[in-house]
Chain A
Amino acid sequence: MTQVLINGLAVGGIYGLLAVSFSVVYGVLGMVNFAFGEVFMFGAFGALVAAAANTQIAGADFAGPALPQWAAIGIGLVVGAIVGLLVERIAYKPLRNAPILSMLITAIAVSMLLRAVGTFLFGASQSPVPAPDLGEAFEVLGARIQPIDIVIFSVAIVATGAFWALVKFTPIGRAIRATAQDRDAARLMGIGVDKVISTTFVLGSVMAALAGILYSQKYGFAAAGMGFIPGLKALVAAVLGGIGSIPGAFVGGLVIGLTEELAAAYVPEGAAYRDVIAFGVLVLILWLRPQGILGRREVQKV
């Protein structure tokens, strides 16, 4: 039981980080940036390539810098941030005043495009990721605990907390919140709205890339398609927590992570239907409360 819970918290922490990315960008731009699943993937590969001595990129041999683990993670975060920034500048910026449907379609197309680029660069099959050296599994209350799970959960909590504090207490955070509430009013108050949106994308991308790196360390692989399912689950988490809210998104991630790990462990055939359960939760929520669990109803104005 403890084992399952710890595992669920680690998985949930990863979903939570990614959910925060979706949530904060949704808050500012009012759109779901499906491409965060691919930023997640590029982050993982960025760290993997930076840590390796020699790898293959686009089928050609590539002498990696073989950086130490902490530096490689830093590179992964930077790669994710760059990908996120490029996506925002190239694909979304021209659509600032387009209908929401156009933006969503672009978002899904960007996600497919990045996945194809990922497949081209890193191959169609999974690349193994060496496990970080964190010592042996230890026993607590008769359960074997993997140190990586503890690390992942702690990192996720600290990162989300830092991110929340950034948005809550700093001038740039205030600009982000102002833009989220009313873009035009923010612009009139002298806030560089485009800059704020780009910053939000960069910050969100760093969170997504971090989630991707943690995911690849936990499961020992990286692959071009690795971001899709976690991305979808993170979206479920963000909706669960009331999209737009940072703590809500993170808690939503934990709920999804725990639910699916518990289901996999205790429901017959639960492992095979693990994903169905997470998505079933979403369908159920939107059936019962279309505005999300913590969301508020929007009032239409005539």
Chain B
Amino acid sequence: MIVKSSWALPRLTRLAIPAVLALVAVLLPFILPGDRWVRVAALALIYIALASGLNILVGLTGLLDLGFIAFFIVGAYTTAILTVQLFVNQLGFDPDTLWWLFPVSLVGALVLAGIAGCILGYPTLRARGDYLAIMTLAFGEIVRLVSINWIGLTGGSVGIRGIPPFAIGDLELTSPSANYYVVLAMVVVILVALAGVVASPVGRAWVAIREDELVASSMGIRTRRYKLLAYVCGASIAGVTGVFFAHMQQFINPDSFTLEDNFIVLSLVILGGAGTFWGPVVGATLWIFFQAIARDWTIVQEHPEFRTGFLALIVVVLMIVRPGGIVSRKLKLTRSGGDVERPEPRTAPAGLEPDPIEAGAPVLVVDTVGRTFGGLTALGSVSFEVRRGEILGLMGPNGAGKSTLLNVLSGVTKPSRGSITFRGDRIDGLDSDRVSVKGVARTFQTVRLFWQMTVLENLLVGAHERLRGWVPAFALRLPRHRHDEARALTEAGSVLEFAGVWDERTRRASALSYDSQRRVEIARALMTRPKLLLLDEPAAGMNESETKALASLITAIRDSGTDVVLIEHDMDLLMSVSDRIVVLDHGEVIATGTPDEVRRNPAVLEAYLGSDA
């Protein structure tokens, strides 16, 4: 099949904005009146880098960091201590000959800031968001206080002077314009790399975590790991920026990084637009230039506190009036818009080997599984099996334990006892992301899509396990990944066609009709290439004709080679599509059999209609 791509034209328009921005950035020193303004522009670049780094945490992943400057401090002091304290003061090198040390400092700062990011990020794996905010604030203070008080290493409040300027060989780059261009190069590299990472499985995983962490993990994303990764990436960017800042200033002291800088950088992200790509750039540029202009005003000279006060006021008003910030352009989480021609519908889970298990043999064996919450028994001792090639209906009155059972099967809650074996492997006790990788996918009782993403992006999250890779490879935009992504998009197209929602592929999930939302959710689950699909009341809220269409979709899923467990309150649907039915009541299995057998079973009638029936 020829993969027709729609890249050609959008690609031109997509590159237009960055190209114009780059041109302006390159010409800026010639346009600006005088060195003072070139210095302001260089400072703006520093803040652009910091804001973009923080945006990974706050904007993309939804983790608040109030001590972000700590990573910047780590970077700046790393190079200052290495260059001045160690090589100049201890080893007696001439500072003018140390230009070769700069890359070493960069790597050192990258590593140390990354480690700091790990230390700070680790508790996020479990801590609640607000505790975390407090902790980042405290961590930022610790780093700042140490930099002030560890005089032997950091020079205390005097700081470290005599940091050599940027240089290439003997050529020292000390003029404001030269500094500007060096920092510009850094910002361009950071932004290009960041854009690559954002439009990759990594970026999609971050946004998925922000949107709905539980669903993200049910798509096979190791959410803890990706949150930690967000910290490490943000911290590394801040650390590198710190190195450039130190060499640009040629000195650092604790006054270079006030406590308020944490807040300022955060505000710039919010001002420009958290979770957008250009938001931090716009926010930082506007604010730093505004601040430089305002410096000449007498009222600001008399009351320097007005600057942060004004910024704070903007943020407070913005959060009420326009929480999205200035830039409203949504992030593009993939570089391609998908195929333009209507694809063939998916016939079988693509890329699957012929199934070694023959039809009718058990694939999922649930053995005496129980789950209690405190003193409440949600599941007593449940045993049943799902066989290859069937749709297993799961019914029971409200409170029978159906949802708990589904959560236990998908790894959201752990069973208190019993075992679950899927195709020979125990899956009880696995986290939901591992269960997903084993080939068990699920949908949710109330539709849970990633509402800010397009339909295709939602589906690509489902393909996470096949697309994931190493962050630097995405930053470098290696062609291999681009290929994988194009293939996954083609697959997404055929899955959407299969589910009957191909026409919706470029729309935002939040803009879909209810019926389409349900179908997209099923399609997203199918993108994980499941061998078993758990559907939690998929027909809830649908009208009669939609339910009928859904029934044929569910049957088609079974026929394409994915076994189905269906929880449903709509008896007509359940009876018509299920091959066998398991009936739960009060956390126990009370009947198992074909729809006809179950319909006639007195225990079932009693559970549903009461003993008088």
Which A residues fall within an 8 A CB radius of B?
26, 30-32, 91, 94-95, 98, 100-102, 104-106, 108-110, 112-113, 115-117, 119-120, 124, 224, 228-229, 232, 235-236, 239, 243, 269, 272-273, 275-276, 279-280, 282-283, 286-287, 290-292, 298-300, 302
B472 at the interface (CB under 8 A from A): no
A225's closest neighbor in chain B, by CB?
Answer: B259
| A32-B133, A98-B319 known; A120 vs B303 contact (CB < 8 Å) | yes
Q: Are A292 and B306 in contact (CB under 8 A)?
A: no
A287 / chain B contacts, CB cutoff of 8 Å: 122-123
- Asked whether A109 and B128 contact (CB < 8 A) given A120-B309, A273-B145, A276-B146, the answer is no
Q: How far is the CA of A273 from the CA of B126 in the complex (A)?
A: 28
B residues near A282, Cβ cutoff 8 Å: 134-135, 138
A-B contact sample (17 more), CB < 8 A, given A108-B66, A120-B309, A291-B126: A95-B319, A104-B130, A105-B64, A105-B270, A106-B316, A112-B308, A112-B309, A119-B303, A119-B305, A124-B304, A124-B305, A224-B305, A276-B141, A279-B141, A282-B138, A286-B123, A291-B127
CB neighbours of B139 from chain A (8 A): 279, 283
Q: How far is the CA of A224 from the CA of B308 in the complex (A)?
A: 14
- Nearest CB on A from B292, distance (A): 19
* Residue of A239, A275, A302 touching B444 (CB-CB under 8 A): A302
Task: Flag whether B137 is at the interface (Cβ < 8 A).
Answer: yes
A105 CA to B135 CA in the complex, in Å?
A: 15
User: Contacts of B263 on A, CB cut-off 8 Å?
Assistant: 108-109, 112
Contact of B308 among A116, A228, A299 (CB under 8 A): A116
The answer for the CA separation of A100 and B128 in the assembled complex, in Å, is 11
How many A-B contacts if CB must be within 8 Å?
141
Which of B64, B145, B267, B445 meets A109, CB within 8 Å?
A: B267
Per-residue A-contact encoding for B495-528, CB less than 8 Å = 1, 0 else: 0000000000000000000000000000000000
Closest to A93 in B: B320
Query: Chain B residues near A229 (CB, 8 Å)?
Result: 141
B403 within 8 Å of A (CB atoms)? yes
Chain B residues whose CB sits within 8 angstroms of the CB of A228 once the complex forms: 259
B313 within 8 A of A: yes
Q: A104-B133, A286-B123 are in contact. Are A116 and B309 (CB under 8 A)?
A: yes
**B129 interfacial by beta-carbon distance below 8 Å:** yes
Interface positions, chain B 237-262, Cβ under 8 Å from A, are 259-260
Cα of A292 to Cα of B134 in the assembled complex, Å: 12
Q: Which residues of B contact A95 (CB under 8 A)?
A: 319-320
Q: Does B347 contact A (CB under 8 A)?
A: no
Shortest CB-to-CB span from B126 to chain A, Å, is 4
- Cα–Cα distance between A158 and B267 once the two chains are bound (Å): 40
Encode B287-323 as 1/0 by CB contact (under 8 A) with A.
Answer: 0000000000000000111101111110110011001
Q: Chain A contacts of B134 at CB under 8 A?
A: 32, 232, 235-236, 239, 282
Q: How far is the CB of A34 from chain B (nearest CB, A)?
A: 8
**Complex contact B312–A112 (CB within 8 A):** yes
Q: How far is the CA of A60 from the CA of B141 in the complex (A)?
A: 35
A272 and B149 form a contact (CB under 8 A)? yes
CA of A287 to CA of B135 in the docked complex: distance in angstroms? 10
Nearest neighbor of A87 in chain B, beta-carbon distance = B316
- Are A32 and B142 in contact, CB atoms less than 8 angstroms apart? no
Known contacts: A102-B323, A104-B64, A290-B131. The answer to whether A232 contacts B309 by CB under 8 A is: no
Do residues A283 and B138 form an inter-chain contact, with CB atoms below 8 A?
Answer: yes
Q: Mark B132-159, 1 if CB is under 8 A from A, else 0.
A: 1111011101100110010000000000
Q: Is B75 engaged at the interface, CB distance under 8 Å to the other chain?
A: no
Interface residues of B (CB under 8 A from A): 58, 62, 64, 66, 122-123, 125-135, 137-139, 141-142, 145-146, 149, 214, 259-260, 263, 266-267, 270, 303-306, 308-313, 315-316, 319-320, 323, 373, 403, 407, 412, 444-445
Q: CA separation between A104 and B444, bound complex, in Å?
A: 29
A219 to B239, CA, bound (A): 38
Contact B138 A279 (CB under 8 A): yes
Choice from B267, B303, B316, B445 contacting A110 with Cβ under 8 Å: B316
User: B346: shortest Cβ distance to chain A, in Å?
Assistant: 27
- Give A224's nearest chain B residue, CB to CB: B305
A280, closest chain B residue (CB) = B142
Q: Which residues of B contact A102 (CB under 8 A)?
A: 319, 323
**B130 lies within 8 A of A290 (CB):** no
Pick the 9 closest A-B CB pairs, nearest first.
A116-B309, A290-B127, A279-B138, A113-B312, A119-B305, A109-B315, A112-B312, A290-B126, A116-B305
Closest residue to B445 on the A side, CB-wise? Answer: A302
B255 to nearest A CB, angstroms?
A: 15
Supply 5 A–B pairs (Cβ within 8 Å), ascending by A: A32-B130, A273-B145, A291-B126, A302-B214, A302-B412
Contacts A120-B305, A120-B306, A302-B444 given; does A276 touch B133 at CB 8 Å: no
Cβ-neighbour of B315 out of A31, A101, A106, A299 (below 8 A): A106
Q: How far is the CA of A272 from the CA of B144 in the complex (A)?
A: 12
Q: Which residues of B contact A235 (CB under 8 A)?
A: 134, 137
CA distance A109 to B310 in the complex (A): 10
